[in-house]
Structures are given as C-alpha cells and as structure tokens.
Chains A and B, each alone.
Chain A
Amino acid sequence: EPEVTQTPSHQVTQMGQEVILRCVPISNHLYFYWYRQILGQKVEFLVSFYNNEISEKSEIFDDQFSVERPDGSNFTLKIRSTKLEDSAMYFCASSERGGSSTEAFFGQGTRLTVV
C-alpha cells in the first residue's frame, strides 16, 4: 500500500542551527502539507503546497520556514534558525485531490528536538 515516507525519524539539533526535514509523498498525489504537533497539544497546520508553490500557510509558518519540492519525489521543510519552541513532531501529508485536503495521508513523522 502506498505511503508517505519521512526522514529522519528523529533529529536533534542545537538552537540556531538549520534543519531540513524530508518527505516522499505518495506518488500520484498532487497536494502536499506540513503539520506539526507539540507534545500534548493539537496537531497544527503549517503549510500546503500545490503546483510548485505554497497555496496556504499559517501564522506559524514565518520567514524561518520554507518548503521545496526539489525533484519529482521529495518534499522538504527547512527551518533556518531553530528555536527551542520548534521542538515537535513534524508530519508530512499528501492528498490526491485538493479542494479541502480531504483524505490526507500522513507520514510517521519526524521528531525534532532543539537543545
């Protein structure tokens, strides 16, 4: 069964360092998303991406964040200068259809720990 793949599963980084989280969405999907979940809190939307551009982003997704689809398969989230409060699980998701991000399928997540 097709699945969304994320690497690494766990990343530890020092405050102020740049990190890149990687995702391989399901191959025939057109819409891609990043969400995050701080321990004990709700899952939060960060950004959606379609047709090689950001289609929507949240207030969390400030200038420290960027996304890229460098080739036909990978989808990356970059955090330029990490802060302690960026520590969270980061989930990549993809969906075949847009309109509502319905039936979005999620990867297993990258646990980011900023120290």
Chain B
Amino acid sequence: QKEVEQDPGPLSVPEGAIVSLNCTYSNSAFQYFMWYRQYSRKGPELLMYTYSSGNKEDGRFTAQVDKSSKYISLFIRDSQPSDSATYLCAMSAGGNNRKLIWGLGTSLAVNP
C-alpha cells in the first residue's frame, strides 16, 4: 500500500461550486498535514496546515483530518477560475522525522 494516495483527477467544476479534495494514508505516525497548491511548472504554495485531527478554516478553504480513518480533505467553497491548479497533500510524522511525504496531486479546473 502506498504511503499517501491521492486521486489525480482531473476534476472539472463550474465556477461557484464546492470542491472536495482528499487523500488517504497508511502511516499512523503522521501527525502534520498540509495542503499545497501548485500552478504549472511552479513551486508548491502552502494553503493549509493542520496538526492531528480536526478542522481548520481559512477563508474559502477548510481542511479536515480524520486520523481514525487515515483520511484528510480540503474543501473549497465558491470556487473561482483562479483556483484552477494542482492540489497536493503532504504529511509528516514530526519529531526527528521532518520530511514531507506527498500525494500525487489532484488537477482541478474551475470553469467560468
């Protein structure tokens, strides 16, 4: 089983839709969970960071972590064409294990 799995899509939605992106993981040691946005041939841009289980909201973005199911989600409300990008989940165990383990990324297109 891969450490982090993420459906690559592509996902295409109309402007204004609610978008749901998710990742599953197998390593129960992961405690830090991040969502990055990446535009074509650019560096990943940190969107959301969550520690352990729970929800975190920032503007139109909500991140959820369910450690019991080893499942994380990112919701985008009122999606805009400018949200069109690849969204990557990344996670780490913390402590002395600082490296981020990444999903493949989901390609999202928001159509005007």
Contacts and interface: CB of A to CB of B under 8 A. Distances in A.
A42 B36 CA distance: 13
Nearest to B98: A101
A68 interface: no
A3 to B, nearest CB: 9
Contacts of B105: 42
Contacts of A56: 96-99
Contacts of B90: 43
Contact of B92 (A41, A42, A101): A101
Interface in A31-54: 31, 33, 35, 41-45, 48
Interface stretch (B38-46, B59-67, B77-85): B38-46
A27 interface: no
**Chain B, interface size: which category?**
20 to 34
Contacts of B94: 99-100, 102
Nearest to A101: B98
B26 to A, nearest CB: 15
Interface in B21-52: 31-32, 34, 36, 41-46, 49, 51
Contacts of B93: 100
A74 interface: no
Contacts of A75: none
Interface in A79-104: 89, 91, 98-104
Contact of B101 (A31, A45, A104, A106): A45
Interface of A: 4, 6, 31, 33, 35, 41-45, 48, 55-56, 58, 89, 91, 98-109, 111
Interface of B: 4, 31-32, 34, 36, 41-46, 49, 51, 88, 90, 92-105
